[in-house]
Amino acid sequence: MVASLQSFHTTGTIINVRVSFSIPSDKWLAIYSNKYPNLQFSLLSTLSLSEQQGNCLIQIKGEGLTKFWDDFSTFYDSKKYQLILQDSQTLLMNVIFRSPWVLWTLMEPQLIILFPIMIRKGILSIDLIAPSKKIDDVFKKPFWKSLGLNIKYLGKYCSCPKLTKHQNRILSYALEYGLFDIPRKKSLTEAADLISEKSPDSKISVSALSENLRRISKKLSESYIKCSEL
């Protein structure tokens, strides 16, 4: 596992890519999402059990939900799905499906899949994070052309800067009290007093508030510059 993680970070620039493609017409998701175009199918998680079988947790919302369920529960093998939640607006269920070769193609090279995966009218949209070389290796395979692969977004992956819990709290108060507005809604002195009143166990002085705001601004600014250079 360590070797795999090291390999992930040394095989090129980490990129974020959003792609869409048509699900093969014989797959149940293609059949039902085309048959019920007003429904939004969201894969909340997927698991490749083998090259022959996979499992997914799926949420379905939209008009025609009752009709879909009557149809699906009548014709889909009852041994291969488990209903978790059903109301007038949402269906949530686990489904076992055959030949998950597209899923296997994305998971086997250890691409990071961002959920939910959205499906509508037979088109699947998915966000992936991986080294650029792995992305290239996966999508240069010829079968993607037959699925109408469409690259919606491609860019270097940039993560949000990590603030401490204390910094998050200070930032929330700073926005609430308009410390970044021009002119400020509250002075630093007023803000420090209000913060101290709300959180007696973590009173803050004007100088400490000012210092925290500078540290937060530096983190966010450095992250912005780094991401804007992509």
- How much is the average pLDDT of 40-68? 91
pLDDT for 150-161, tens place per residue? 999 888 887 778
Q: Percentage of residues in the chain with pLDDT exceeding 70?
A: 93
Q: State which H helix or E strand residue 150 sits in.
A: strand 150-156
Mean pLDDT of the chain: 88
Task: Name the percent of the chain in helix, strand, coil, to the closest 5.
Answer: 45, 30, 25
Q: How many CB atoms lie within 10 A of CB 27?
A: 19
Do 20 and 128 contact (CB within 8 A), yes or no? no
User: 8: pLDDT confidence band, cut at 50, 70 and 90?
Assistant: very low
- How much is the average pLDDT of 159-188? 90
Higher pLDDT: 85 or 108? It is 85
pLDDT at 47 exceeding the cut of 50: yes
User: 224: pLDDT confidence band, cut at 50, 70 and 90?
Assistant: confident
* Main-chain phi, psi angles of 106, to 5 degrees: -85, -30
Instruction: Determine the pLDDT at residue 4.
Output: 42
> Shortest CA distance to 40 belongs to which of 115, 96, 91, 108?
91
Cis peptide before 142 (omega within 30 of 0): no
pLDDT at 96 exceeding the cut of 50: yes
CA distance 9 to 7: 5
Residue 86, token pair as written in the block? 């059903």
Task: Give the domain ranges of the chain.
Answer: 2-156, 165-228
Instruction: Determine the pLDDT at residue 230.
Output: 52
User: 2: pLDDT confidence band, cut at 50, 70 and 90?
Assistant: very low
Number of H-type helices and E-type strands within the chain: 9, 8
Q: Percentage of residues in the chain with pLDDT exceeding 90?
A: 64
- How much is the average pLDDT of 1-17? 57
- How much is the average pLDDT of 201-219? 90
pLDDT at 10 exceeding the cut of 80: no
Instruction: Determine the pLDDT at residue 222.
Output: 84
